[in-house]
Amino acid sequence: MRVRVHLLTLALAALLVAAVAGSAAAQTGRVGGTVKDESGQPIKGASITAENPNASPSSFTATTDDKGRFSIIGLRTGRWTFTAQAPGFAPESGNLNVQTIGAPNPPLTFTLKKGASSGPASALGNLAAKDLQAELAAADALYNAQKWDESITAYRAILAKAPALSVINLQIAAAYRNKKEYDNAIAAYNDLLKTDPNNDKAQIGIGMTNLEKGDIGAAEETLQKAATSPTATREVFYNLGEVKFAKGQPEEAAKYYQRASDIDASWGKPLFKLALVALNKSSASGKPEDKEATIKALERVVAADPLSTEAAQAKTVIEQLKK
């Protein structure tokens, strides 16, 4: 009976931390910066994309003003990839752990080198950079207000004017997923794959949408295929682990969580899931050595990604296990 009570306490504590983390996640952060060329001159009309597949919305786009400055508002806490692009320049990318509370996020400075350009900024059609920024901001505002139909209409209007911005299909798909219109979401992801066949975010999106539909087999098939790519990302392996976990295969799930962690050892999400697998094993066996292994796994989450939601949850579980 003591074990049952202890596990119930542990579960309640984890749920409490999750609720607090969810409240914090409702806050949003701001990231700004500049884009310049190699001589230090500002680049006007450069496109900056922020992407985080674990956030919702998962991507934002901004453009620079006359002084090369940009600002992106609405980012959730987490690790974001920022990419700056401009016609006639090679793109440049970087990562930043965005915070929504505490000290302001540090400014980003991109120095683009002359060379071949690619992506949205090189083919905006007749849509001026300033107009693009305003229309994207308006569409994102509708999305954040949970006005799914209006946001889809706004995103599609931008896409009609600038077809090169096919990445907007990610936002369209996310809106459909929030409406639980899963087939429409998959169609939007497939629209992106027509122009970018190796887009891992679209592949992951299809897999997780199938999981939300309850079609675990289709979800597994999609992500398993994406995982065979030589350029498979940490997100592909993590989400494949999620599918395996949903199928009740924790040991198989652990293999993919580990592969995600091998790609990015500072990412707390797969480390925390590995710790949960260890916790399940410890709870089942009751062996002291398994309990110690679980504590060590949780401590790795805190050490690797101390500002993450997973680290906060890990600390609470550690406290419970040490009682």
Same-domain pairing of 20 and 147 = yes
Q: Which of 104, 122, 140 is the last residue of a domain?
A: 122
Tokens representing 260 are 């995600």
pLDDT at position 18, please?
38
Same-domain pairing of 113 and 138 = no
Range of the domain at 72: 31-122
Q: How many residues does the chain have?
A: 323
What are the beta bridge partners of residue 63?
Answer: 47
pLDDT at position 176, please?
95
Cβ-contact 172, 188 below 8 angstroms: yes
Q: Is the pLDDT of residue 149 over 90?
A: yes
Q: Which of 104-118, 182-196, 303-317 has the lowest mean pLDDT?
A: 104-118
Q: Which of 77, 103, 122 is the last residue of a domain?
A: 122
Sheet harboring 108-112: ordered strands across? Answer: 69-75, 29-37, 108-112
CA-nearest of 162, 161, 158, 46 to 171 is: 158
Q: Is the pLDDT of residue 256 over 90?
A: yes
Same-domain pairing of 13 and 114 = no
Same-domain pairing of 98 and 150 = no
Same-domain pairing of 230 and 89 = no
Q: Is the pLDDT of residue 183 over 50?
A: yes
The DSSP annotation for 131-145 comes to: HHHHHHHHHHHHHHT
Q: Which of 122, 144, 177 is the last residue of a domain?
A: 122
CB-based contacts of 5, cutoff 8 Å, min separation 6 = none
The residue to which tokens 């087939």 are assigned: 183
Same-domain pairing of 101 and 135 = no
CATH code (residue 219): 1.25.40.10
Q: Is the pLDDT of residue 13 over 50?
A: no
Same-domain pairing of 118 and 133 = no
C-alpha dihedral over 111, 138, 59, 312, to 10 degrees?
A: 110
Same-domain pairing of 222 and 112 = no
Q: Is the pLDDT of residue 12 over 80?
A: no
Sheet harboring 59-63: ordered strands across? Answer: 59-63, 47-51, 78-85, 92-98
What are the beta bridge partners of residue 109?
Answer: 34
Where residue 241 falls among pLDDT bands split at 50, 70, 90? very high
pLDDT at position 191, please?
93
Domain count along the chain:
2
CATH code (residue 38): 2.60.40.1120
